[in-house]
Amino acid sequence: MAKDADISRQEMPTYQLIRSRRRTLALVVRPDRTIEVRSPPNVSRRQIEAFLRERIEWIKERQQASDNMYPVESLPPKEAGQADRLIRERVQELIVDHQLPLPRVIRIKDLVSRWGSCSAKGAISINRRCACLPPELLDYVILHEFCHLIHLNHSKAFWQLLRQYLPDVTLRRDQIKRYYPVATRSKEDGQPCLSTRSHKQR
């Protein structure tokens, strides 16, 4: 994995190269400021680095924007059970409040890169770390996945349905982009991320 690459201090940033059968070059700046280049197998390093240099200003802008983002670390075992209960309780409240369709199963687990998912078979997964999000964003994730039981895509119809439940869906969608799950904890004995009181005060 590439280390943090601050291109304000070096001409050519450090990057992770991923080759695949894709046809074009693609550039991703992750929330942790690291850079990923996705490339077809036949593109040379020289071409890749020219591609990066042409986009240096864009990379700098993206890295600066990431300074206003908030990592959400995985929960220690002593908090996992509390997080699961909090999320399941809120799921049940929203099902009753909005008369939501019932999924085949609801799983609360530690997802690496997503806040939630919904399978074609109607199985919903919610990232345990959603319990650390502000309450309005926890609701956004839950309702987002439940809408996928009706529309398994992000079509106009999907967003119209979600907006029926959350009139301020655009605002919440923008807010959740400021948070991102990270795979590990920086400290074993840090401040707990759960804010049970804030989730109960709705």
**Tokens matching residue 181:** 């799950």
This prediction's pTM: 0.68
Q: What's phi and psi for 44, nearest 5 deg?
A: -80, 165
The per-residue pLDDT for range 132-169, each reduced to its tens digit, is 999 999 999 999 999 999 999 999 999 999 999 999 99
Residue pair 116/145 in contact (Cβ under 8 Å)? The answer is yes
Question: Can you say whether the dihedral through the CA atoms of 12, 16, 19, 20 is positive or negative?
Answer: negative
Distance (Å, whole) CA 193 – CA 196 = 9
Rounded alpha-carbon distances, angstroms, from residue 70 to 131, 134, 177, 187: 14, 12, 9, 16
- Choosing among 3.30.2010.10, 3.30.460.10, 1.10.150.120, 3.90.850.10, the CATH entry for 72-200 is 3.30.2010.10
Confidence band (pLDDT; 50, 70, 90) for 82? very high
Average pLDDT, the chain: 85
Q: Where in the chain is the domain with CATH 3.30.2010.10?
A: 72-200
Pairing of strands 123-127, 116-118: antiparallel
How far, in Å, CA of 57 to CA of 65, rounded?
12
CA angle 190, 191, 195 (to 5 degrees): 145
Element counts in the chain: helices (H) and strands (E):
7, 8
Residue 91: pLDDT above 70? Answer: yes
Tally of residues, the chain: 202
